[in-house]
């Protein structure tokens, strides 16, 4: 390696480029951003999304309002990365639950039932999926990759009969948004939601009686959040 080069040697003896060094101004900016995100999450968890203002967040982070606008354009811009992290944390917990389950139909059932309950029960997940952008896009961004993976697995193993997976994914995304919105509005109960999951299994090719039975099985609890996962926020309470 030449003297003065930016090339470093990895643990395996191979060379790699040195990571860029962050200057003092960039470090301070990054630290301020993280402080704002942390304060915003704590306030939203304690008070709810609508009750927290930009002034609250700036004051809690001990910065001027103008400094807030140097980093974020609105409260929406602060909440999106926080809410995205909550939604993806929910997805990771569901993935840990279904990791050892052999039947793709049960995987889909557990995944959908916990996804609907988890989003409905977390204020930031609800806001992220239903109100922070286009719901179908947000749902896909938060949990969609796992759903696609699980459906494709069922097709490969012959459990599901789906001529056009791409079309089905769009239909299922719409069904999830519809059931979630109806449940939150009080038009559906959790039993209704589980019936909806049974209908999804029927669309995937599972016989009707079997689909109903799978969707009504006792629902095992999700694993606890792993270290680094965001804690839950104020829950939406609905009848069972």
Domain boundaries, the chain: 21-73, 78-215
Tell me the per-residue pLDDT of 199-212, one tens digit each, with 9 for 90 and over: 999 999 999 999 99
- Write down the pTM of the prediction: 0.80
**Domain 78-215 sits in which CATH superfamily?**
Tetracycline Repressor, domain 2 (1.10.357.10)
Best CATH choice for the domain 21-73 from the list 2.40.50.140, 1.10.3720.10, 3.40.30.10, 1.10.10.60: 1.10.10.60
Give the whole-angstrom CA distance, residue 52 versus residue 78.
Answer: 11
For 211, counting Cβ atoms within 10 Å of its Cβ (0-12 exposed, 13-18 middle, 19+ buried), the class is buried
Is residue 36 classed as helix, strand or coil in its secondary structure? Answer: helix
Tell me the per-residue pLDDT of 47-79, one tens digit each, with 9 for 90 and over: 989 999 999 999 999 999 999 999 999 999 999
Residue tagged 């494709």 (tokens): 152
- Judge whether 21-73 and 78-215 match in fold: no
């Amino acid at each position: 390696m030449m003297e003065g080069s930016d090339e470093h040697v990895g643990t395996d003896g191979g060379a790699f480029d040195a990571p860029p060094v962050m200057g003092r101004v960039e470090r301070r900016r990054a630290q301020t951003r993280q402080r704002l995100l942390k304060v915003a999450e704590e306030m939203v968890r304690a008070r709810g999304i609508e009750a927290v203002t930009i002034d609250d967040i700036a004051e809690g982070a001990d910065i001027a309002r103008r400094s807030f606008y140097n980093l974020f354009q609105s409260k929406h811009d602060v909440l999106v990365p926080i809410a995205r992290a909550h939604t993806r944390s929910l997805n990771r917990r569901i993935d840990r639950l279904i990791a050892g389950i052999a039947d793709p139909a049960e995987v889909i059932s557990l995944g959908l039932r916990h996804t609907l309950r988890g989003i409905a029960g977390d204020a930031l997940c609800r806001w992220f999926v239903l109100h922070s952008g286009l719901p179908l896009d947000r749902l896909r961004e938060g949990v969609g990759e796992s759903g696609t993976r699980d459906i494709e697995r069922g097709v490969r193993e012959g459990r599901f009969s789906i001529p056009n997976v791409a079309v089905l994914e769009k239909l299922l995304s719409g069904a999830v948004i519809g059931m979630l919105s109806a449940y939150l509005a009080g038009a559906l109960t959790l039993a209704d939601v589980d019936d909806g999951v049974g209908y999804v299994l029927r669309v995937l090719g599972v016989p009707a009686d079997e689909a109903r039975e799978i969707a009504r099985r006792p629902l095992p609890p999700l694993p606890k959040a792993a270290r680094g996962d965001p804690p839950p926020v104020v829950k939406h309470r609905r009848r069972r």
